[in-house]
Homo-oligomer: A and B are copies of this chain.
């Protein structure tokens, strides 16, 4: 039987998952593909660590060149993550005319332009299904299934850690710290979860999705990026009273004035399909010219869903190798007709705000006056029973306003003497209400 040889770089949690799946699924894959996928080498800097999969020690190496320079290796699988040395490794693999499969969203978000150019110039493929929502074949859907569609908007719950924390807070009424601790205990949050919590991981994935979906080179610097650490159980409760749940969303939206791209927690209407995406699940809600609304829902991370995505990329590349094809789905196509990307504060939104104010007469009037000076009108307001001269939350939701106006108004309000803490702001995705 014809076979394809892969070399795997990175034998940690994800690498072990891929190795295990390739071994266990060998027969299954051969029957479906008509040829076998062989692991010829596995590289890791630490070969002594205990792993839950057993491989012949002759496959193991600490020297990445044993893979990059081996003419037998058809496809290099990069699973070490991070920027360096992953960037150098993938670059060398592509220059050595090896196809590459990667799960590395941070690297792609930063270096996608040069890496896809390198792949094209060397006539090899660089595939990345596992980089966004591993268990959801969204990259394939955007690149192939929806190839004829013009995407209008993408709303993604693309960080399982944040979604686990927020849905824990929502469903069990617990605070952020307890929800984070639960997530860590269950293995859904890392010990150092900053990249997840602060929205950066979602931003990496959104950069990939938006570039793919809209044909523009979307950079992190184009995005407003906010995380979820300021959200309290009180915010969850107020949102619920008004018919919303709070989700960390990656949003990319085509407007007449250009593409909006941003990552921040958002109030999502209760009845919207994204509102019921719970625990560590991911979901991507897309609107296109030909299909209207679509939703793709599944496990986002974990070594097994990631392995599923990596193997689908291996299978696709392998078919092209075995079939000696010289034409395949390109990485990301930048489309000169796609328009431009808006400045990151150039959008409008509804706003949920929780002010922490000393409760005395005139406070609400003062806040309202400043908002109205910036043409921001209030939709709802909720104020706790008065406790003389104590700090109380004043919570409100505004109608649609301009981000720039709102930011200025809030800065002015937060400078007032009776405001005792930085106000908590969560944007309200009213556009999801129309669905």
In the bound complex, residues from chain B placing their C-beta under 8 Å from that of A21 are: 148, 290
Given contact pairs A146-B312, A148-B21, A312-B148, A31 touches B335 in the complex (Cβ within 8 A): yes
In the bound complex, residues from chain B placing their C-beta under 8 Å from that of A290 are: 21, 135, 304-305, 307-308
A323 in contact with B316 (CB, 8 Å): no
A104-156: which have CB < 8 Å to B?
Answer: 129, 135-137, 140-141, 144-150
Number of copies: 2
A325-376: which have CB < 8 Å to B?
Answer: 325-330, 333, 335-337
**Residues of A at under 8 Å CB distance from B?**
21, 25, 27-29, 31-34, 129, 135-137, 140-141, 144-150, 215, 271, 273, 276, 281, 288, 290-299, 304-305, 307-309, 311-312, 315-316, 319-320, 322-330, 333, 335-337
A298 in contact with B307 (CB, 8 Å): no
Q: How far is the CA of A316 from the CA of B335 in the complex (A)?
A: 20
In the bound complex, residues from chain B placing their C-beta under 8 Å from that of A298 are: 291-295
A294 in contact with B136 (CB, 8 Å): yes
A297 in contact with B299 (CB, 8 Å): no
In the bound complex, residues from chain B placing their C-beta under 8 Å from that of A304 are: 290-291
In the bound complex, residues from chain B placing their C-beta under 8 Å from that of A291 are: 135, 298-299, 304-305, 308
Q: A137-B145, A148-B315, A291-B305 are in contact. List 5 more A-B contacts (CB 8 A).
A: A21-B148, A140-B141, A145-B309, A295-B296, A320-B327
In the bound complex, residues from chain B placing their C-beta under 8 Å from that of A320 are: 323, 325, 327
Min CB gap A364→B, angstroms: 38
Given contact pairs A294-B135, A320-B323, A147 touches B312 in the complex (Cβ within 8 A): yes
In the bound complex, residues from chain B placing their C-beta under 8 Å from that of A296 are: 294-297
B145 in contact with A129 (CB, 8 Å): yes
A-B contact pairs, 12 of them (CB 8 A): A21-B148, A27-B337, A28-B337, A31-B333, A31-B336, A136-B294, A140-B141, A146-B312, A147-B312, A148-B312, A273-B273, A291-B305
In the bound complex, residues from chain B placing their C-beta under 8 Å from that of A307 are: 148, 290
A141 in contact with B147 (CB, 8 Å): no
A319 in contact with B308 (CB, 8 Å): no
In the bound complex, residues from chain B placing their C-beta under 8 Å from that of A288 are: 308
B319 in contact with A32 (CB, 8 Å): no
Min CB gap A76→B, angstroms: 19
In the bound complex, residues from chain B placing their C-beta under 8 Å from that of A327 are: 34, 319-320, 322-325
In the bound complex, residues from chain B placing their C-beta under 8 Å from that of A315 are: 144, 147-148
Q: How far is the CA of A325 from the CA of B316 in the complex (A)?
A: 12
A141 in contact with B141 (CB, 8 Å): yes
B293 in contact with A273 (CB, 8 Å): no
A149 in contact with B294 (CB, 8 Å): no
In the bound complex, residues from chain B placing their C-beta under 8 Å from that of A324 are: 324-327
Min CB gap A26→B, angstroms: 10
Min CB gap A53→B, angstroms: 15
B150 in contact with A146 (CB, 8 Å): no
Closest to A334 in B: B31
B273 in contact with A333 (CB, 8 Å): no
B319 in contact with A29 (CB, 8 Å): no
In the bound complex, residues from chain B placing their C-beta under 8 Å from that of A150 are: 28
B323 in contact with A148 (CB, 8 Å): no
In the bound complex, residues from chain B placing their C-beta under 8 Å from that of A309 are: 145
